Amino acid sequence: WYAAPVGALNYSDNCVEITVHPGGEAGAPVRVSVRPPNPLVEIVNRCRTGRGRDPVLHHPPGTFRYVVSGRCRKEWAFPPVAFPDPGLLFAASFRNVLAQEGIVLNGTVRRERVRLDAGTLPSRLTVVARWRTPIGDVLKRIGKNSQNLFAECLLKRTGYAFAKAAGDPRPVGSWSNGQRAVQSVLAAAGVDPKGFSIADGSGLSRTNACTPRQLVELLVWMRRRPGGPMFLESLSVNGVDGSLKRHLQDAAGMVHAKTGTMRGVRTLAGYVGPAGRPRYAFAVLFNGYKGGSGPYRKLQDRFCRVLIDALPDAHSSE
């Protein structure tokens, strides 16, 4: 999933899964399988059967080439690795499925502009079906599972809606429109934008920046919005699910929050309180530390514990 590209057509998390299988005897080349099967992936197999260094996968950025090296004694599955062109990945995989069903297509898979200058489809094309996922389901995948690809897509989709609402004759889902949409939300929430910066939807860019105060003010504002309950349901719940499942298990259900973790970064922001009745909004952000994140996770848990212990009686009024 890491740094998977964003496309208008996304497929298989915009990744391929590569697995190596040992050959018949020591020194023999391994067999390499790819999911989803498609002819675009170019495998360079330098991996051999036997003892030695574990298999290694190298993917030169922007290419369809995947180099496998090392030694393999038993089946070895690499984590999903990004594919640079999601649309082509879908088209090639779809063609492969059609061929398996006896439907053979001539020619090559290629990318071609279809939409007219006005942004509409030509009359010769017919839309046969539409699939729409409720936004609440999308938010849960992002919030509870930290699905970075969905977060990136949502920023662009939000940018499209923002540009369309602003009267843009040709609205597009771009990074810049998405960034403007976020800035407009900050303004509506009355959040001081000083020092705030957003470069992407997932938070992986190290040029993203915000303060704990900005996050808390936004969380308080969001809780009062009509979409507040939906947003709350999208967050991980301590001791229950998502990235907080193993946190504060003896006080399960009292923290609804989103985690953020990179090298030297450990963040947590959300709400503390009984399910459906959050009392406190909080944000704890650690940056620039050396070594593992374990001590900072414990500090975040201790912070949440203080807020939980400070909660008034659950039966008191809001």
User: Domain locations in the chain?
Assistant: 1-110, 133-200, 211-318
Pairing of strands 65-72, 42-49: parallel
Q: Give dist(CA 68, CA 102) in Å, integer.
A: 32
Please count the helices (runs of H) and the strands (runs of E) in the chain: 7, 11
Residues of the chain above pLDDT 90, percent: 81
**pLDDT tens for residues 59-118?**
998 899 999 999 999 999 999 999 999 999 999 999 999 999 999 999 888 888 887 776
Q: Give dist(CA 161, CA 110) in Å, integer.
A: 29
DSSP bridge pairs for 209: 197
**pLDDT tens for residues 225-269?**
999 999 999 999 999 999 999 999 999 999 999 999 999 999 999
**pLDDT tens for residues 86-103?**
999 999 999 999 999 999
Q: Tokens 């308080």 sit at which residue?
A: 220
What is the pLDDT, as a whole number, of residue 317?
A: 38
- In terms of Cα–Cα distance, which of 215, 188, 314, 316 is closest to 271? 215
Q: Which amino acid is located at 60 in the chain?
A: P
What are φ and ψ of residue 88, in 5° steps? -65, -35
Averaged over 132-147, what is the pLDDT? 94
Architecture of the 211-318 domain: 3-Layer(aba) Sandwich (3.40)
pTM for this one? 0.88
Q: Give the pLDDT band (50/70/90) at residue 316.
A: very low
Q: Give dist(CA 35, CA 202) in Å, integer.
A: 25
What is the pLDDT, as a whole number, of residue 277?
A: 81
